[in-house]
Amino acid sequence: ITLRESGPTLVKPTQTLTLTCTFSGFSLSTSGVGVGWIRQPPGKALEWLALIYWDDDKRYSPSLKSRLTITKDTSKNQVVLTMTNMDPVDTATYYCVYRGGLNWFDSWGQGTLVTVSS
Amino acid sequence: EIVLTQSPGTLSLSPGERATLSCRASQSVNNNYLVWYQQKPGQAPRLLIYDASSRATGIPDRFSGSGSGTDFTLTISRLEPEDFAVYYCQQYGSSLLTFGPGTKVDIK
């Protein structure tokens, strides 16, 4: 299983961030499977953002729910995360993660550092 | 929201020593649904333990997890040089997934 994040490395405050996770080694149409996003500000702890399941059920961190949208394209093996109204505090490495069983993550992408600055 | 607290913040030990890391939850974690990850500088986290005590595939048996309810422990029986890293716990007993702040294990 491999996952790879792609998207801008620099966004301006108030802009919308769109990140794409392209994966291989599994299908997001398989029962029980999910793909999520987790971020990590520099030198800080991990924070779960969102999760999308094989049946298109979606879950979001309550503190960020109003700003997040997660979608999937099963035919392309991609999951897209959008985050609106970006702020410098959103500067972080964003990881795409694979959920194969319950809500823990045994495969991670390499992460992509997104900096929010004018 | 279940808040996870990890202690100590930093653990300074020598290779060969035993490391004991704590993760405490603000409320009971359903079904002991707790995992441990290891993260080295510049790398993504790696899953070590799931369901509080089950080792993930390929994880050496010097890593063990224990605990239940609100108190969980990760033990590294004999530290190898590659074990010096930051360790995070995460609970999945509720729909809001939360992580602890991490424990750094560094070389004394």
Query: What's the pLDDT score for residue B40?
Result: 97
Asked if B96 has any chain A CB less than 8 Å from its own CB, the reply is yes
Please name the member of A47, A48, A109 whose beta carbon is closest to the beta carbon of B44.
Answer: A109
Instruction: Tell me, rounded to whole angstroms, the distance of Cα A115 from its chain centroid.
Output: 15
Does the distance separating the beta carbons of B96 and A62 come in below 8 Å? yes
Instruction: Indicate if the pLDDT at residue A19 is higher than 80.
Output: yes
Query: What's the pLDDT score for residue A96?
Result: 98
Q: Is A104 exposed, middle or buried (0-12, 13-18, 19+ CB in 10 A)?
A: buried
Does the distance separating the beta carbons of A106 and B44 come in below 8 Å? no
Query: What's the pLDDT score for residue B69?
Result: 96
Provide the pLDDT confidence category of residue A88 given band limits of 50, 70 and 90: very high
Instruction: Indicate if the pLDDT at residue A101 is higher than 80.
Output: no
Please name the member of B45, B47, B50 whose beta carbon is closest to the beta carbon of A46.
Answer: B45
Query: What are the backbone dihedrals phi and psi of residue A112, each rounded to the nearest 5 degrees, phi first?
Result: -135, 130
Which residues from chain A sit within 8 angstroms of residue B37, using beta carbons? 46
Does the distance separating the beta carbons of A103 and B97 come in below 8 Å? yes
Percentage of chain A beyond pLDDT 90 is 97
Q: What is the mean pLDDT of chain A?
A: 96
Average pLDDT over residues A5-24: 98
CA distance to partner chain B, nearest, from residue A47 (Å): 7
Asked if B92 has any chain A CB less than 8 Å from its own CB, the reply is yes
Query: What's the pLDDT score for residue A102?
Result: 87
For residues A108 and A69, what is the distance between their CA atoms, to the nearest angstrom?
20
Provide the pLDDT confidence category of residue A22 given band limits of 50, 70 and 90: very high
Q: Is B52 exposed, middle or buried (0-12, 13-18, 19+ CB in 10 A)?
A: buried
**For residue A51, how many other CB atoms are within 10 A of its CB?**
23
Going by C-alpha positions, the residue among B36, B26, B14, B8 that lies closest to residue B104 is: B8
| Amino acid letter, B34 | L
Average pLDDT over residues A15-22: 98
Which residues from chain A sit within 8 angstroms of residue B35, using beta carbons? 104
- In this prediction, the residues of chain B whose per-residue pLDDT falls under 50 are none
